[in-house]
A = this chain, B = another copy of it.
Amino acid sequence: MPDRIYNFSAGPATLPYSVLQQTAKDVVNFQDSGMGIVEISHRSPPFAAVIAEAESLLRELLAIPDNYKTLFLQGGASSQFFMVPMNLLAPGKKASYLNTGVWSKKAIAEAKLFGEALVPYSSETGGFRRVPSQGENQIDPASEYLYFVSNNTIYGTQYQKMPVAPDHVPLVADMSSDFLSRPIEVSKFGLIFAGAQKNLGPAGVTLVIIRDDLLERAPASVPTMLRYKTHADKGSMFNTPPCFAVYMVREVLKWLKNLGGVAAIRDSNEEKASWLYQVIDDTPYYRGHAEAASRSRMNVTFNLPTPELEKKFVAEAAALGMAGLKGHSSVGGCRVSIYNAMPQEGVKTLVAFMRRFAAENPA
């Protein structure tokens, strides 16, 4: 294998090479301290500077308003599935969930432990090939919040426009797989969360952006570590944070800022996705899973004429240094994950391979 391949995995996923090289230095000797970043006290000034810069870069890149807190938590997005209703949904109250795939279904199941979960939209019967268009569904105005998953990795669907909710119903979004891939208007949301391992860094840290007033909603029965307020009050340092993951997030955010921020990466991401969808639209050889209006800019999912050809496609691509193209077991086929850190050159190489493969392997 060459020193570096193109990794199209859905997550954990490719990270910027320059960030990896910096990390390799810092993991042994951080800022010439004679200690690695994994060894320094989380209460030390050097680490305090790391987490403070990670937060301020994030706030700057997404233009997060002052009445929102940003938290670095553990437990993955899966822990947010229960933390959201545990903190925001009281017994006897209800919340609305848009069901667009496995991850929203899991979130709905956890919500039912705490209150009523309404599901005003589901694309399950159609194989989760689409997300609702803006205003397509009626949301109960008595909902404590409206929950949705902005990008669905498994099916390759993504909201082009965010859902709208009745006044006073905050939006809660699982943005794990498209966080920081495009500008968002944070003030439209009550809570946003994202596991790091797509666009943000390594697995092991979860970003939460939460509007101040929602911090106060948790019932007294919620354990200390599971209250958003605990972490907001202590700047994510109530207990030892996942220091290394926070450090890497900072490095990735610096990289993103140097590239021009989320608007610049959005443009690049749209280009990358358009090249892949062009191949899909040009030939019936590749059949896209998602409906055109719901197509994801992060995960492009498609089938080849036969499962045998799909297997051959994935294996030949891997031999050429393009890894991670096998689709999720629940939909099969192929999946190309093209998060922020996937270079345009990687997508161009793959697109050329796709055209060549189709020509050389007729159905």
**Interface residues, chain A, CB within 8 Å of chain B?**
1-5, 7, 9-15, 17, 20-21, 23-25, 27-29, 32-36, 38-42, 44, 74-79, 81-82, 86, 106, 109-110, 113, 195, 197, 201-205, 221, 223-226, 238-245, 248, 321, 323-324
> Can you list 28 pairs linking A and B with CB atoms under 8 Å apart?
A1-B33, A3-B29, A3-B34, A5-B35, A7-B40, A9-B40, A10-B41, A11-B41, A12-B38, A15-B39, A20-B36, A21-B28, A23-B27, A23-B28, A23-B38, A24-B27, A38-B201, A38-B203, A74-B242, A76-B225, A78-B225, A81-B224, A106-B224, A202-B244, A203-B243, A204-B244, A242-B245, A244-B245
Shortest 7 CB-CB contacts between residues of A and residues of B: A5-B34, A82-B223, A204-B242, A38-B202, A74-B74, A78-B239, A24-B24
Contacts of A204 in B (CB 8 A): 74, 204-205, 242-245
Distance from A126 Cβ to chain B, minimum over Cβ atoms (Å) = 26
Contacts of A40 in B (CB 8 A): 7, 9, 12
Distance from A47 Cβ to chain B, minimum over Cβ atoms (Å) = 8
Which chain B residue has the least Cβ–Cβ distance from A195?
Answer: B240
Instruction: Please give the count of copies of this chain that the complex contains.
Output: 2
Distance from A191 Cβ to chain B, minimum over Cβ atoms (Å) = 17
Distance from A121 Cβ to chain B, minimum over Cβ atoms (Å) = 23
Contacts of A39 in B (CB 8 A): 7, 9, 12-15, 20, 202
How many angstroms between the C-alpha atoms of A239 and B17 in the bound complex? 26
Which chain B residue has the least Cβ–Cβ distance from A1?
Answer: B34
Contacts of A203 in B (CB 8 A): 38, 42, 240-244
